[in-house]
Chain A
């Protein structure tokens, strides 16, 4: 996976590039938006990490421009300004996620992986997470190479949780994703699907991956080592 880091602080950028390389990302660095534009046009990067204040302009305005030109690589905004207004501006401009500086390399790496799992123009049909592999095109789920027999709804649920693995998925989003408006959703329907899925995952050897956050939703995470 190839990442383009657009950041003007040379020292910070060098350290971040080294950190991401250690985590298995191939990382290039652009110090100005002009260099970044050339790289984006060349279409070699899977993810963009964009800092805000750059010598030749604002990262968010730049992102809005390249989106207008049709470059849809997932973008992660790196911002020191953590006010809500900035986040909204960033997401409106076509950023897919944001990280507040100074962020841990682990956090940035996790966000990049999450971006790659999201549906979008570049979404893969095969989703891998820990021992799990969901092939949404062939509607097949494997755990450590062994097929798991899941119903359509259980597969949809697993895919939804997997695309946002490591974060809590709200119950309301699950309801709206799994059930059409016409279908009446009984209060226990989601719970029942989740517990069936959890049992099947545990039977297949994926223990401690599917967690309930009572009152809010559910979360899929790497099995506890």
Chain B
């Protein structure tokens, strides 16, 4: 492998070689022309004269040519490469899941455009591959619903001691499929950046609490909503925000023992918190659960890992974060302020 060299360094070497060859050629000409005067170099006056001749006709012209040329070239190179640096900066701020990231090569020098176009083509293919993959996952999830519904109904008619356990398994599977479809929808929406409504977080909180309260009460747990401070609206996708909160509340109800309480706290500011009666989740454990689906490791029996990964995805799409306060047994959704 040849060692990597910067353009400026190559230019320096190139110009040095040009200067060296130029000097040598000029020297040959000059010496040829002034052969007789150089024969008596022992005389100091003749030597001075010869040196002046050399300076005027060799060193000066070479310096006059090489120095401005070198500087001009450096400036041109720096200017020509500046747009590449800007493009790199743009690519670096692009988020992990951001779609449609392309190199803007409008300001690129002509020579660099084919390279940028090739990279853009590749980025486009990657986007398309991700979209195909998601569409496929959504299709699979969708197609699985009907056989699963049939299975659930078959079990419904089954009068066997094992039937309730099997039914619970089917419900868990259905939940997983719903999560997959939700994830596909979140990805599609965040790619399209389409629906952006004003969402009142406390309304979402009230919706989810009233949706899940009947189940909580049936399991002898209490679910309630508390409002703290002024209601602050956010801009986002109401359905997916609701899905994120629903995931957290369902997880919270799962880890809370009978007789315990789960509280959804709206506010202060653009924030939703879910406080449960479980043991709390350390930030490290949360990060692990969020990472789970990226590592394609679905070993979680409770199905919470995928749920939390989806919540984190939804929050990222809203410019917000999912975090955990273990001591307070709280999971916190922070949204970007308006």
Taking Cβ atoms with an 8 Å cutoff, the residues of A that contact B are 9, 11-12, 15-16, 18-19, 22, 80, 82-84, 101-105, 166-168, 170, 211, 213-217, 219, 221, 224
Residues of A within 8 Å of B156, CB to CB, are: 15, 19, 22, 104-105
Closest A residue to B148 by beta carbon equals A102
Q: Contact mask B133-154 → A, CB, 8 Å, 1/0?
A: 0000000001001101110111
Given contacts A12-B149, A19-B153, A83-B185, contact A167 B224 (CB under 8 A): no
- Tell me if B254 counts as interface (CB < 8 A to partner A): no
For this complex, into which size category does the number of interface residues on chain B fall?
35 or more
- Tell me if B106 counts as interface (CB < 8 A to partner A): no
Residues of A within 8 Å of B149, CB to CB, are: 12, 101-103
Residues of B within 8 Å of A12, CB to CB, are: 146, 149-150, 153
Interchain nearest-CB distance for B151 vs A (Å): 9
- Tell me if B232 counts as interface (CB < 8 A to partner A): no
Residue contacts A-B, CB under 8 angstroms, 20 given: A12-B146, A15-B153, A19-B153, A22-B156, A82-B181, A84-B239, A102-B146, A102-B174, A168-B213, A211-B213, A211-B217, A213-B209, A213-B213, A213-B223, A214-B225, A215-B205, A215-B206, A215-B225, A216-B206, A216-B224
Chain A to chain B: the 4 pairs with minimum beta-carbon distance, closest first: A102-B149, A215-B225, A15-B153, A214-B224
The interface residues of chain B, by DSSP majority, are classed as: helix
- Tell me if B293 counts as interface (CB < 8 A to partner A): no
- Tell me if B42 counts as interface (CB < 8 A to partner A): no
Task: Let me know if A104 and B224 touch, CB within 8 A.
Answer: no
Closest A residue to B211 by beta carbon equals A168
Residues of B within 8 Å of A216, CB to CB, are: 206, 209-210, 213, 224-225
Given contacts A15-B154, A104-B152, contact A168 B146 (CB under 8 A): no
Interchain nearest-CB distance for A207 vs B (Å): 14
